[in-house]
Structure 1
Amino acid sequence: MNPQFKLEKLHLSDCSITKKQSLILTSALKSNPSHLRELDLSENNLGNTEVKHLCAVLKDSHCKLERLRLSYCDMTDEGCSDVTSALKSNPSHLRELDLS
C-alpha cells in the first residue's frame, strides 16, 4: 500500500488465495494502481465476489494494467460480465486478457 512501492508484475497463480486475502490484495491495488502492468491470478479460487472487487481496480482511471490472467478461476457469467464492464470503462491499456 506504500505509494512509493512501484510493483509492475505480480504473479500469484495457483497460490490458493482465500477470499480474505483477495480482499486485502484488491485493497492494496486500489491504493496504488498506477504502476502495475501485469497481474496473474490464474488457478485460484476466485469467485464472482472476488472478481467484482478486482474490477473496481480495473475501472480506476489510474490503472495501467496491460496483462490480466484469470484462467481456471471459479467465476461464472456474472464475473465475466463484471470484467467486461470494467474494461469498457477503462479500455486503453489492456493488451492481454486470459479468462480460459
Structure 2
Amino acid sequence: MAPVTEVSLHLKDAPDLKHASFCLKHCENLRGKGRVPGQRQCVKVRGSGCQAVSCSDTTQQWADFSLALEANRSLKCLDLTASELLDESARMLCTTLRHPKCFLEKLLENCRLTEACCKELSSALIVNQRLTHLCLANSNLGDGGVKLLCEGLSHPDCQLQNLVLSHSNITRRGCRRLSKLLQEDSSLTNLDLGLNPIATGSWYLCEALQKTNCNLRCLGHSEGLEKSARIADGLQQSGLQGDTASAGIQ
C-alpha cells in the first residue's frame, strides 16, 4: 500500500467501522492532527491523523478495531469522546492496551464508562508503561471505580501522569482513596476532579497535597468558595497549581 500521511473517515453506518480498522492496520505512517465535528456517538482516532466516527457499538466490530490498534505502531492518541462503549467493548480495548505492540500514549474516553470496566483498565495501567494520559470524564465510575483504578495507579510500574476524572460521580470516599494514592509516591502529576460531589473530600486532598512525597503539580476542581479556599491553602503550602473552575487536562 502506498504511504499515507493523513486520513479522515466520516462513518455513517456500522460497516464503516471496518474501513477504519483497515485504515489503522495498513496506514502505518500517519502523522498530523485533526478533528471531526462532534456527533453524539462517535469514535475519533487522532494524534496520528487517522480519525474514525462510528454510530454503532457491536462486539465483533470492536474486536476488529482493537486488533487494528495493535497493528498500527504510529498511533499515539485515541479519542473516544461522546461514545457510549458497552462494557464488553471497553474490556476489549483494555486487552489491546495490555498488548506489547500497543503504542498509545493518550486515551480519551469521555464515553460514560462504568465501574465494571475499571478492573481491566487498572491492569492495563500497570502493563502499558507508554500510557501517560487518561481521560475518563463524564463517566459513571463512582467510588468503586476509583478504588479499582487506584490499585493500578499505585503499582510501581504504572507511568500515568495525567488523569481526568471530572464529572464521574466521585464522592468523599473516592477522594480518600485518591489522597492515599497521592501520598504513596504516585507518578500522577495532573489530576482533574471537577464537577464531582466530593463534599468534605477536599480535606483528604489537602492532606495529600501537604505531603512532601506528593508529586502532584496541577489539581483541577470545582467547589464552593469555602472549600476552594481550603484546597487553595493546601496548594499554596505544597507549591502546586490549581483551578477552582475545574481545569481540564488536555
TM-score by length of 2: 0.36
In structure 2, what is the equivalent of residue 5 of structure 1?
102
Residue 46 of structure 1 deviates from its aligned partner by: 0.9
Structure with more relative contact order (C-alpha pairs < 8 Å, separation 6 or more): 1
Alignment partners' CA distance in 2, 1:23 and 1:66: 19
Alignment partners' CA distance in 1, 2:169 and 2:134: 17
Deviation at residue 34 of structure 1 after TM alignment: 1.8
Structure 1 counterpart of 2:241: none
Shift of residue 11, structure 1, vs aligned partner: 0.6
In the TM superposition, 1:29-48 aligns within 5 A as 29-30=125-126, 32-48=127-143
Task: Please point out which of 108, 113, 127 is paired with 1:17.
Answer: 113
Give the drift of 1:20.
2.0
Q: Which residue of 2 aligns with 1:86?
A: 181
- 1-structure distance, mates of 2:152, 2:191: 15
Q: Distance in 1 between matches of 2:124 and 2:188?
A: 20
**Counterpart residue type for residue 192 of structure 2:** D
Greater Rg by CA: 2
CA distance in 1, matches of 2:102, 2:183: 28
- What's the CA shift for 1:57? 1.1
1:8 to partner: Cα distance? 1.3
In the alignment, is the contact (CA less than 8 A) between 1:60 and 1:90 conserved in 2?
A: no
Return the alpha-carbon distance in structure 1 between the equivalents of residues 136 and 112 of structure 2. 10
Check the 8 A contact 2:161/2:188 in 1, yes or no.
Answer: yes
Q: Is the 8 A contact 2:114 2:145 kept in 1?
A: no
Q: CA deviation at 1:64?
A: 1.4
Deviation at 1:71, TM superposition (A): 0.5
The alpha-carbon deviation at position 21 of structure 1 amounts to: 2.4
- Which residue number in structure 2 is paired with residue 56 of structure 1? 151
What's the RMSD between the two structures over aligned residues? Answer: 1.6
What residue identity is the alignment partner of 2:106?
K
Q: Classify the secondary structure of the residue corresponding to 1:89.
A: coil
Letter in 1 for 2:134: L
Question: Number of matched residues?
Answer: 97
Distance (whole Å) between structure 1 residues aligned to residue 184 and residue 100 of structure 2: 24
Q: Deviations over 1:8-67 (max 9, x none)?
A: 111101x1213322333223333x142210010011001111100000111011111111
